[in-house]
């Protein structure tokens, strides 16, 4: 078998031969052992990852793979998958500012990134790949997004005409390309939205297309200084990994019980003081936020601003942060008005 053959292209006769040889060894583990001594054709360069993130490839049985990055945003999936040996073959994102940031961070050319509406893309034209990665828009399913849409009398979830149908665009891509692995991410509310019906649709859509499903809600605060609970879905194609889900041997990483030494605290990522005054709250806005929080405190809920613990982790940053930054405020000096985060 050629050393650079993507997993998706392993011919059926090779799979049948492996099944005859592997005995009780799970197919995925047999493939891993067979390729364990394969050297990576090119180690990812440090400058391919933003902020000096180091690749974690150790040659310890990891198989090189290709992936596509759907609804890519500014490249969170690409950062992680490149760090473990992945090579991105195509990126799709509709927001022009996100695309500009993505290109700047990863130095990709115009041909690799398609800017536009993914629902209008012919999925047959997506390059072949081993992993389909997609952080499809979460606003139709998030607690904040659903509450806002309900208050405005708008549809949410799969009924959202603009964003709710993007999961089905992913399904069309899966049908067209049959990737060995599908890797999805969304808000944890995905499992409970519409009394669990949304999750049942997602799970059955993947199972019906021939995949074993693994899912777990993970809080990123075990690794970065921000609370960010998200559901991760990893799906393995049965035709490649075998019919027995238990034989795949996949498990999600366990978050550390305590933040390990060397993991950055919130203060470690901040721009040094002093920062431009435009990021500091005006007296009027600061008073408004204090009054707003007090009103909700009396009503018995926890809505309101949050002063970040500089020696710990921050709240979850929302898409509306640019409006007032109230969920993550920095106040090095209690005698001064707090400030917002500054863009990197």
pLDDT digits (tens, 9 = 90+) for 305-317: 889 998 888 888 8
| Same-domain pairing of 167 and 50 | yes
Q: What is the mean pLDDT of the chain?
A: 79
pLDDT digits (tens, 9 = 90+) for 34-79: 554 333 334 444 445 665 555 554 444 456 789 999 999 999 999 9
| Same-domain pairing of 168 and 288 | no
Least confident of 100-114, 177-191, 311-325: 311-325
Indicate the Cα dihedral angle 41, 252, 201, 171, nearest 10°: 0
| Same-domain pairing of 274 and 242 | no
Residue 213: band (very low, low, confident or very high) from pLDDT cuts 50, 70, 90: very high
pLDDT digits (tens, 9 = 90+) for 7-31: 555 666 666 666 666 677 776 666 6
Q: Is residue 310 part of a domain?
A: yes
Q: Which of 142-146, 212-216, 302-306 has the highest mean pLDDT?
A: 212-216
Q: What is the pLDDT of residue 99?
A: 94
In whole angstroms, what is the distance from residue 81 CA to residue 243 CA? 26
| Same-domain pairing of 130 and 215 | yes
| Same-domain pairing of 220 and 318 | no
Q: What is the pLDDT of residue 140?
A: 47
Q: Is residue 338 part of a domain?
A: no
For helices 27-34 and 12-21, the axis angle rounded to 10 degrees is 100
Residue 183: band (very low, low, confident or very high) from pLDDT cuts 50, 70, 90: very high
Q: Is residue 258 part of a domain?
A: no
Q: Is residue 253 part of a domain?
A: no
Q: What is the mean pLDDT of residues 279-291?
A: 92
| Same-domain pairing of 92 and 238 | yes
> 81, 22 in Cβ contact below 8 A?
no
Concatenating the DSSP letter of every residue in 42-79 gives: SPPPGGGSGGGPPP----SSPPPEEEEEES-TTTHHHH
The CATH code of the domain that includes 171 is: 3.40.50.150
| Same-domain pairing of 97 and 41 | yes
Q: Is residue 178 part of a domain?
A: yes
pLDDT digits (tens, 9 = 90+) for 215-251: 999 998 888 889 899 999 999 999 999 999 998 989 9
In whole angstroms, what is the distance from residue 187 CA to residue 183 CA? 14
Q: Is residue 331 part of a domain?
A: no
Q: What is the pLDDT of residue 64?
A: 78
In whole angstroms, what is the distance from residue 231 CA to residue 246 CA? 21
The number of domains in the chain is 2
Is 79 a known active-site residue?
no
Range of the domain at 89: 7-247
pLDDT digits (tens, 9 = 90+) for 76-94: 999 989 988 899 999 999 9
Q: What is the pLDDT of residue 160?
A: 46
Indicate the Cα dihedral angle 162, 165, 170, 176, nearest 10°: -110
| Same-domain pairing of 225 and 281 | no
| Same-domain pairing of 171 and 295 | no
| Same-domain pairing of 302 and 169 | no
Q: Which of 79, 88, 138, 171 is catalytic?
A: 138
Q: What is the pLDDT of residue 265?
A: 84
pTM: 0.75
Q: Is residue 43 part of a domain?
A: yes
Q: Is residue 141 part of a domain?
A: yes
Token pair, residue 149, equals 């849409």
In whole angstroms, what is the distance from residue 28 CA to residue 243 CA? 12
| Same-domain pairing of 311 and 204 | no
In whole angstroms, what is the distance from residue 266 CA to residue 264 CA? 7
| Same-domain pairing of 66 and 168 | yes
In whole angstroms, what is the distance from residue 67 CA to residue 29 CA? 20
């Amino acid at each position: 078998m050629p050393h650079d053959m993507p997993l998706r292209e392993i011919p059926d006769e090779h799979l049948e031969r492996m099944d005859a040889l592997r005995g009780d060894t799970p197919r995925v583990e047999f493939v891993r052992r067979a390729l364990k001594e394969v050297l990576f054709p090119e180690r990812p360069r440090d400058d391919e990852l933003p902020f000096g993130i180091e690749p974690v490839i150790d040659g310890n049985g990891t198989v090189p793979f290709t992936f596509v990055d759907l609804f890519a945003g500014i490249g969170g999936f690409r950062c992680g998958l490149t760090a473990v040996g992945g090579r991105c073959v195509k990126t799709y994102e509709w927001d022009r500012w996100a695309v500009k940031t993505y290109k700047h961070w990863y130095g990709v050319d115009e041909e690799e990134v398609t800017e536009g509406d993914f629902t209008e893309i012919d999925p047959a034209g997506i390059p072949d790949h081993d992993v389909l990665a997609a952080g499809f828009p979460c606003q139709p399913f998030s607690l904040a997004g659903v509450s806002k849409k309900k208050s405005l009398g708008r549809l949410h979830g799969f009924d959202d005409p603009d964003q709710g149908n993007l999961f089905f665009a992913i399904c069309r891509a899966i049908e067209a390309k049959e990737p060995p692995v599908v890797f999805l991410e969304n808000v944890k509310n995905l499992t409970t939205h519409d009394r669990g019906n949304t999750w049942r649709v997602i799970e059955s859509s993947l199972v019906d297309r021939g995949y074993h499903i693994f899912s777990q809600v993970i809080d990123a605060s075990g690794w970065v200084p921000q609370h960010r609970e998200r559901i991760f879905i990893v799906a393995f194609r049965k035709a490649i990994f075998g019919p027995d889900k238990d034989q795949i041997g996949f498990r999600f990483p366990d978050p550390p019980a305590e933040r390990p030494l060397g993991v950055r605290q919130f203060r470690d990522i901040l721009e040094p003081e002093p920062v431009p005054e435009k990021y500091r709250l005006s007296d009027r806005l600061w008073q408004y936020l204090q009054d707003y929080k007090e009103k909700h405190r009396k009503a018995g809920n926890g809505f309101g601003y949050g002063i970040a613990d500089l020696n710990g982790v921050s709240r979850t940053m929302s898409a509306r942060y640019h409006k007032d930054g109230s969920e993550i405020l920095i106040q090095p000096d209690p005698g001064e008005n707090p400030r917002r985060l500054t863009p990197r």
